[in-house]
Structure formats: structure tokens, C-alpha cells
Amino acid sequence: MESGRVFIAVAGVWALFVTAHAAKPYPIDDSTGYGRTFDGIGGISGGGATSKLLVNYPQPYRDQVLDFLFKPNFGAALQILKVEIGGDACSTDGSEASHMHNSWEENYQRGYEWWLMLEAKKRNPNIKLYGLPWAFPGWVGGPTRDNPWTDPERPAYYVLNWLRGAKAVHNLTIDYLGIWNERMYSIPYIKLLRKTLDDNGFSNVKIVGADKKWEIADDILQDEELGAAVENIGCHYPGTFSDPSAMKTGKQLWASEDYSTFNDNVGGGCWGRILNMNYVNGNMTATISWNAIASYYNPLPWFRTGLMTAVEPWTGNYAVESPIWITAHTTQFTEIGWRYLRHGAGVGNFTGGGSYVSLVSPDGKDLTIVIETMSHDHSICVRPPLEPYNVTKQRVTFQLKGSFASITSLNMWYSRLFNGAVNVTGTMFERQAPLKVVNGMVQLDVAVDEAITLTTVSGGQKGSYPPPPSSQPFPSTYNDDFEGYPEHMEPNNLAQQTGSFEIIDVGSPHNKVVRQMVLSQPVHWCKAEGRTNRSINLIGNYNWTDVTVQMDAKVGEVNGSSGYFVAARVDRGGGESDQAEGIFLYIFPNKSKYHLSGDFEHKKGITEGELPSSNSDWNNVMLTVQGGTASGTYNNQKLFNVSIPANPKYGFVAIGTDSWGIVDYDNLMIKAKPVANLRQKPKDNTLYYKPKA
């Protein structure tokens, strides 16, 4: 136990320390060489539609959010941006548009990942870009529409086109390409992809294998050609440990998707711990957060598991959460290409718990030491489980040796996520007085749940803007005639869950409309989508109960869907295991029938009937749901007024198609009974703190 307590002054900071925990100095030493090369810290946009609500943020708030993510020396200063290569199918929080919905066309204005990459590059020209498919359009999936690898030429051509579009249309150079997110990989495809890239002027594009666990390592050890094709191994949720086979390949090892944890201060603790421990335990040289920014409706799956949160384009409200500042502790004082010091010479665990990593600039002159002392219960990530361990406050002494022996002072940046057992206030990324280095020795007292950077780099900035507008619920009256968009964009706030919806100019009188583009079942990624052939697109507020939704719609003359719907009280999106329920008014123009159903699959029929005759392709449909009744009209003629099931009680508004195929939508109008503001407040972190009895 504690053998004594002494108050000492360390660089002007009074701190309590416990002599029992004072350990031998930890050497920081380059004289025996370096460890691995640092490949950066990044975030993922996609997998899927995680940036959807950021796109139409009002300025200046949109730029502010982008600055917190990407601007060097400001916030997270991300070094890698990994994006989804949209595949027209659900990939968790929605579906992202493919550049080739069909084999016979291509278009590089769809979706928002191009825009996001351009914004990131504008702020940091050195940011690395990494593309990865989650789903593929059906034609890439071959005859069975579920296996992209039956003919590797197809996916290689598809991905090559994406790279070409990035370059030709947006002047974007992609640095890394993945295979298929968390699904089977094909060795023949990986080899063909390498050859295709090399033959087409993309030999600079490196392949990451295989965005699953470490399984590709064994294949690489047995297959030299595969080893030559794959630049590095990307594992998801490695739990800070790599695998002996992966080490044996000699490849750079990445946590190419990690984190996924609610972004309160426990999330910040998780992120701080794994950023260090992925190298300390696993020799991983890059860690990429799913997701970069939580910009999808509450409560779609994994709400707020991004580095920060921006879910209100209608107000501009956003929240910079602790993972932004935890990221800054490393990214603001390093660059890709810096080198880690060796284990035991600048990298390791502290004896009292916690860890440190040291990184050195390519010229060997700059040194950055990142320390974390996250306690077990304040750094739990959602996966994998975290074995118990203890962290105590402790005095840490570093002994600077080799090239660093002459350093006399280190700049210091400090965060504390929790203040002992009481509530969090959280100190985030504060500059402290520099620490003196005396005869190569530097001492500091570290407490629990801290992140500290000691560095010779003099930059660093805790970027800030005036507070954004306050949070408000989604507007209860909402109209869009879709005239205000460039063609091929996705309409604002309509969060496509399955299928792909884009603005098309059909000429007078409707001009710009929203068109559902997907003609056949994609190579799906979300389970629920594999069991349907329908598209669904959500908008509004999950807590809406009473709502009127109205729109004009027209089934495509060619390749049209068998029908379409408007819906209210829709309880979920496409990324969950069960299909959505709600009140769905389906219109089948060709059969001249309507069907009111309690679910997306229209299996829970409520009422049905004949449509009044119509001379037009375009028809107006209106659904009102109020208390226990629903009423509907078609071209202002009454269809029904009936009792509806008590559940779901509330939910989103939605539009969509019955089968895959074209439907055009125009003049969407929503009027809802106002509800209280739903933005989930930061959780009370005391809930997470479970002191042992």
C-alpha cells in the first residue's frame, strides 16, 4: 500500500504522488533503432450513410464540423479518411449510392463521399484516402446476385472505374483500396485487382487485405503473389492484439476499423486506450474509427458512435465530443511516416497501469510521447470484451537517451476524462507549462483516466468556434419540391435505407424529381435487405406520432417498380435484423389497387381497395395517421378512414418502392404534431462508473 505521500512541484503543477508506485525510469532511446513506421489515425465515412445528415448543414456550421475533423492543428486532424464505395444497399445506417447502379452506366456525382474527400483534402492535402465496398450493385454479383467473386473481372472493372472517376472528375488520388467489408475475400480477385491497377496507371494505389479479422495472414504466408499484391493487413476490432501469423508476414498491421463506441467520455477513454495499445500490444500502426462523424438519425443503429456528433442540419447544432480531443493528442504532434521507438525504448506499459508510445519525425529530431492511463471501467469499448486490469496514480520518470539526451524541455498537453469517482467534467486537451528535462530526466505524476502528450513539437491548438445554434427537433412542417439541387445528388434529409434515390430532371412540368434508381437486388450487406426486394427512405423525427404525409409519384414507364408507398410511424431502418413496421400506404398503379399495411413487407394488411381511375401517370397520395386511425386519399379522393394497430406508436415518415425499379417522387409535404426535442443528451457518465463494493 501507500508508503508515503509527498507533495512535489512538477513544472509548476502541484501534484500528489505515491512513492510506492514510483517506478524505474522508462528509457526513451533511439540508439538501438526504431520500431515500425506510423501510418496514421483515421475515421470512416460509410458502412453506411454515417455522414448523411452532415451534407446539408447550414454554413458556417458545416465548415466548422469539417474543421474539427480534418483541419491540421485544430481538432482531430485526421490523417486517414476511409470512405464507402457506395453499393446501393444498406450498410448499417443507410445505403450509399453506387457510381454504377447498372453495368451500362456510370456517374461520379452521386452520394456525398466525393464531397467529403474533397473537403478533407482541401484542409489537409496530406490526408490519405482509402476506399472500401460494403455492398455492390446486383450486376457485380453475377448470376446469383450475391457473390462478387464468381467473375473477378467484374468487381475489378467496377472498382477501377471508381478510381478513374475519382481522378478524372474530382482530381482525387486514392491511396488505399480494400476488398469487401467483413465478408469473404477472393485471392484470385486480389491478384487481378493488383494487376488491373498496375496496368491502368494506378500502381500507387495500395491494397489493404482484407478488412475482416487476421485470416488473410495465413494465405499471405503461403502465397507469394498474394503477399506481393497486399500492402498491409487491416483487421477489424482487434482488441489491441495482433496475431502471430500477421506478425510473421512482416506487413504493416492496421486496425482498419475500430472503436464503434458511444462517444461520451467512456468512449473517449476507449479511444485513448486503443490508440496507444494497438501499437503497444499489437504493433498496429494505424487505427481507424467507425465512424468519423455520427451524422445519422437517432435512433438508427449505433447512434453517436463517431468521433463527434452532427445530426441536426435543420439547426446547425453539433457536438464536439471527447474522442476528437483524444485523437488530437497523437495527430497534432505526428505525421504519417514518423517512426515509433522500439518496445522498451519508448513504448510500453507503465508498472502502475496505463501506457506510453513514442514517435519520432523522419529527420530524427522531433519526439512525441503519448501517455494514457485509462481505467478499465472508463475505457470499455463495445467490442471485444476487456480483461480486468488496474491503473493507479503514479510518478513516471522518462530518461531521454540517444539523440534525445540533449532535449531540455517538452511541451505538454493534458486531458482528464473523469475526475475520480465523481461526475465527469472532463479537462480536454489543455496546453500546460512545458516540462523541464534535467540531465535527460523528466518526471511527472499521472493520475487515472488521463491522456498526456509530451512533445518537442511547438504547434498544437485546441480549436474552437462560438457555440452552434441550440438543438431543435426536426421541423414539424416540411416541404420539398426538389428543384434546388444539382442532378444526381441525394435529396436532403431523406435517409435512404435500402435502394438509391437521386435527383433527376424529367422536364416540365415536374422538372426535378427524386428517382429510385435500383433495378434489381444488390449484393446486400445488411441481413434484412437480403430478405426483401423493396426500397425505403426515412425522414423526420422518430417520435412523431400524428402526421400527414403527401407526395406526387409516378412509376417509371420503363423498368418501373410494381408500386410505391408513403408511410408514417416507421420504427426502423434497413440495418437491423427485422423489417420495419409502421403504417404503410402502398399504391399499385398497374393493378389499380391500394393496400394499407402495418409493415414494410405488406404482410400485415389493414385495409385495401380499388384506386379511383386516373388519366395521369403522376398521382397525388396522402396518408394521415392520427391517434388510432389512418386515412388516405388519392388525387384528393378518399380511399379509407380506418382503425390501425396500436403499435408502433411513433416513428419516421418514409417513402419507397414495392419492388426494385423506377419510381419518381415530387412535392413531398409533411405536417406532424410537434414533439419535444429528442437529441440524446450526453449520458451521465456516473452511470458507467461502477465502484467495487
Ligand X SMILES: *[C@@H]1O[C@H](CO)[C@@H](O)[C@H](O)[C@H]1NC(C)=O
Catalytic residues: 182, 257
Contact call for residues 43 and 289 (beta carbons, < 8 A) = yes
Distance separating alpha carbons of residues 441 and 451, to the nearest angstrom: 20
* Three-state DSSP class for residue 142: coil
Nearer to ligand X, 282 or 460 (CB): 282
* Lookup: cell for 262: 458511444
- Minimum Å gap between C-beta 628 and ligand X is 9
Distance separating alpha carbons of residues 634 and 669, to the nearest angstrom: 15
Cα–Cα distances in angstroms (integers) from residue 635 to residues 538, 589, 657, in the given order: 23, 13, 19
Q: What is the DSSP letter of 421?
A: T
- Minimum Å gap between C-beta 540 and ligand X is 12
Q: What are the backbone angles phi and psi of residue 591, rounded to the nearest 5°?
A: -90, -5
**What contacts 172, CB < 8 A, 6 or more positions away?**
114, 117, 118, 121, 129, 166
- Minimum Å gap between C-beta 685 and ligand X is 9
Nearer to ligand X, 280 or 654 (CB): 280
Nearer to ligand X, 44 or 129 (CB): 129
Nearer to ligand X, 558 or 693 (CB): 558
Chain residues binding ligand X by CB under 6 A are 35, 104, 171, 173, 242, 247, 280-283, 298-299, 342-343, 349, 388-390, 422-423, 521, 531-533, 542-543, 557-560, 562, 590, 624, 629, 631, 641, 678, 680, 684, 686
Nearer to ligand X, 250 or 484 (CB): 250
Q: How many C-beta atoms surround the C-beta of residue 59 within 10 A?
A: 8
- Minimum Å gap between C-beta 472 and ligand X is 14
- Minimum Å gap between C-beta 359 and ligand X is 14
**What contacts 65, CB < 8 A, 6 or more positions away?**
54, 57, 293, 308, 310, 318
Nearer to ligand X, 455 or 631 (CB): 631
- Minimum Å gap between C-beta 427 and ligand X is 15
Cα–Cα distances in angstroms (integers) from residue 385 to residues 243, 256, 380, 689, in the given order: 17, 19, 8, 17
Distance separating alpha carbons of residues 38 and 27, to the nearest angstrom: 20
**What contacts 329, CB < 8 A, 6 or more positions away?**
272, 275, 370, 413, 415, 429, 451, 452, 453
Q: What is the DSSP letter of 438?
A: B
- Minimum Å gap between C-beta 243 and ligand X is 8
Contact call for residues 330 and 285 (beta carbons, < 8 A) = no
**What contacts 606, CB < 8 A, 6 or more positions away?**
583, 596, 597, 598, 630, 642, 644, 645
Nearer to ligand X, 391 or 412 (CB): 391
